[in-house]
Amino acid sequence: MNHDRAENSFLEKMRHSLAHVLADAVQELFPGTKFGIGPAIEDGFYYDFDSPHHFTPEDLPLIEEKMKNIISEDVEFVRSEIKKEDAVKLFSEKGEKFKVELINELPDEKISLYKSGKFLDLCKGPHISRAGEIKSFKLMSIAGAYWRGDETKPMLQRIYGIAFETEKNIEDYLKLMEEAQKRDHRKVGRNLEIFVFDDDVGPGLPLWLPNGGIVIEEIEKLAKDAEKSAGYLRVRTPHLCKESMYLKSGHLPYYRESMFPAMDIDGIKYYLKPMNCPHHHKIYASKLRSYRDLPLRLAEYGTCYRYEQSGELFGLMRVRSMQMNDAHIYCSIEQFQEEFLAVSKMYLDYFKIFGIDKYIMRFSTHSREGLGKKYVGEPELWKKTEEMVLKALKEGNLEYKHVPDEAAFYGPKIDVEIWSAIGREFTLATNQVDFAIPARFGLVYKDKDGLEKTPLCIHRAPLGTHERFIGFLIEHYAGNFPTWLAPVHVKILNITSMEEDYVKEIHSKLAAKNIRAELDVKPDTIGLKVRNAVMAKPAYILIAGKKEKSAGVVSLRLRNGKNISGINMEEFIKNISAEISERKPENVYK
Contacts of 350 (CB under 8 A, 6+ apart): 222, 226, 356, 462, 463
What is the per-residue pLDDT for 492?
A: 97
d(CA 125, CA 15) in angstroms, rounded, equals 11
d(CA 309, CA 267) in angstroms, rounded, equals 28
Shared-domain flag, residues 505 and 450: no
Does pLDDT of 4 surpass 80? no
What is the per-residue pLDDT for 496?
A: 95
Of 477, 506, 532, the position where a domain reaches its end is: 477
pTM of this structure: 0.82
Name the domain count of the chain.
3
CATH number at residue 110: 3.30.980.10
CATH number at residue 288: 3.30.930.10
Shared-domain flag, residues 278 and 159: no
CB contact at 8 A, 475 and 179: no
pLDDT over 90 percentage in the chain: 75
CB contact at 8 A, 417 and 399: no
* Other Cβ atoms within 10 Å of 316 Cβ, number: 25
pLDDT over 70 percentage in the chain: 99
What is the per-residue pLDDT for 5?
A: 37
d(CA 352, CA 98) in angstroms, rounded, equals 48
pLDDT tier at 400, thresholds 50, 70, 90: confident
Nearest C-alpha neighbor of 458 from the set 330, 277, 294, 274: 330
**In-domain check, residue 495:** yes
Q: What is the pLDDT of residues 248-266, one digit of tens each?
A: 988 887 788 889 999 999 9
Shared-domain flag, residues 443 and 560: no
Domain that residue 402 falls in: 189-239+274-477
**In-domain check, residue 360:** yes
Of 426, 449, 477, the position where a domain reaches its end is: 477
Does pLDDT of 47 surpass 90? yes
CB contact at 8 A, 501 and 444: no
Sheet hosting strand 78-83, strand order edge to edge: 78-83, 110-116, 119-122
SS3 state of residue 587: coil
Higher-pLDDT residue of 508 and 256 is: 508
What is the per-residue pLDDT for 256?
A: 87
Burial level of 151, CB count in 10 A (0-12/13-18/19+)?
exposed
CATH number at residue 574: 3.40.50.800
Does pLDDT of 1 surpass 70? no
**In-domain check, residue 449:** yes
Shared-domain flag, residues 433 and 290: yes
Shared-domain flag, residues 327 and 466: yes
Higher-pLDDT residue of 144 and 590 is: 144
**What average pLDDT does this structure show over 11-26?**
96
Beta strands in 310-455 (DSSP E): 321-331, 359-364, 400-403, 413-419, 425-434, 445-446, 452-453
Q: What is the pLDDT of residues 412-441, one digit of tens each?
A: 888 888 888 888 888 888 888 888 889 999
**In-domain check, residue 253:** no
Burial level of 302, CB count in 10 A (0-12/13-18/19+)?
buried
- Crossing angle of the two packed helices 97-105 and 84-93, in degrees rounded to 10: 170
What is the per-residue pLDDT for 7?
A: 39
Our CA dihedral for 152, 140, 419, 429, rounded to 10 degrees, sits at 0
Sign of the dihedral through C-alpha 81, 85, 91, 96:
positive
